[in-house]
Amino acid sequence: MGQAPGDIKASEITPESVWLDRRTFLKAAGIAAVSALVPRLARAGGADDKPTSFDDITHYNNFYEFGTDKLSPSREAPKYLKARPWSVRVEGLVAKPKTWDIDEVVKRFPAEERVYHLRCVEAWSAVVPWSGFPLSALLKKAEPKSKAKYVAFQTLLDPKQMPGQNASVLPWPYVEGLRLDEAMHPLTMLATGLYGKPLPAQDGAPIRLVVPWKYGFKSIKSIVKVMLVERQPPTTWNIAAPNEYGFYSNVNPAVDHPRWSQKTERRLGDLFRHPTLPFNGYETQVAGLYKGMDLAKDF
């Protein structure tokens, strides 16, 4: 199974400095330029970095609040989910708790464009041109207290807007968590758009988390609450199946899911499989966060 991409010569790999310049330029040029200008490596490794089509990104979704198959979210979420008015409450172990109106968030934290690889735990993947801002910016505004060690996130709980919550396939609301240093990492973002448009309902409107080195389920959608806490918070998939989904869930081709291999992935829109990279290709940026940990144990 699987086909490795051809070896890429060192000369073909975009050095990070050039990539960063490109990113700055892209910000100025606007998202329309993304697919033309970012053909290659934002990250170490090999695979093609051409952004996945808007159509694929918005019609192959996991959003259990709108059904458990991949097509229900694009069909149902736009009918039910109202992205305005919307507020996000930041609270817990912080000096300055606050309820943010989403329009205030969008205004206060200018969106930047970032093309990230998203690797779903189900072994499919996408390359997504997100717009958003670093989660750290929002957290810093709240002034976390020294006791705060983790960040807990919550999706909206409202079966009228999220009819899938009438079924008990998962405990509701959907919750996720990060260690504080993971949450503060510059790669961790809150996305409010993709392909330069506001986030479609099925992708987690109006605001969702994106943690590119972790399996997709960590990237919780339609967030209403961000809580700074002392202890490791519960996470939905870990509650549902603790032997299959750990708290960390860093992308790791060396640790198989109990029911399938994590060595390769199928990019939406591609015929062939790509090898999955440690930390989804962001190893240089994030491996330091896990120094001394056994990631087969803390999966």
Q: By the criterion CB under 6 A, which residues form the site for ligand MTE?
A: 61-65, 118, 120, 155, 174, 203, 216-217, 219-222
Shortest separation between residue 20's beta carbon and ligand MTE, angstroms: 25
CA 91/CA 146 separation, integer angstroms: 14
Shortest separation between residue 82's beta carbon and ligand MTE, angstroms: 15
Residue showing the smallest CB distance to ligand MTE in the complex: 216
CA 116/CA 130 separation, integer angstroms: 7
Shortest separation between residue 16's beta carbon and ligand MTE, angstroms: 26
Shortest separation between residue 18's beta carbon and ligand MTE, angstroms: 28
- The two three-digit tokens of residue 97, written as one number: 């708790």
Shortest separation between residue 193's beta carbon and ligand MTE, angstroms: 12
Residue among 35 and 235 whose Cβ is closer to ligand MTE: 235
Shortest separation between residue 12's beta carbon and ligand MTE, angstroms: 28
DSSP characters over 265-299? EEETT-SSEEEPPGGGGTHHHHGGGGTT--TTT--
Residue among 22 and 86 whose Cβ is closer to ligand MTE: 86
Shortest separation between residue 62's beta carbon and ligand MTE, angstroms: 4
Residue among 43 and 221 whose Cβ is closer to ligand MTE: 221
Give the residue from 173, 176, 192 showing the smallest Cα distance to 64: 173
Burial of 122 (0-12, 13-18, 19+ CB in 10 A): middle
Residue among 149 and 269 whose Cβ is closer to ligand MTE: 269
The Cβ-side half-sphere exposure at 154, using a 13 Å CA radius, reads: 18
Residue among 49 and 203 whose Cβ is closer to ligand MTE: 203
Question: Beta-strand (E) ranges in the chain?
Answer: 87-92, 98-101, 112-119, 124-134, 150-155, 175-179, 189-194, 197-198, 208-210, 223-229, 264-267, 273-275
Residue among 43 and 208 whose Cβ is closer to ligand MTE: 208
CA 224/CA 194 separation, integer angstroms: 19
Give the residue from 109, 110, 113 showing the smallest Cα distance to 131: 113
Residue among 144 and 153 whose Cβ is closer to ligand MTE: 153
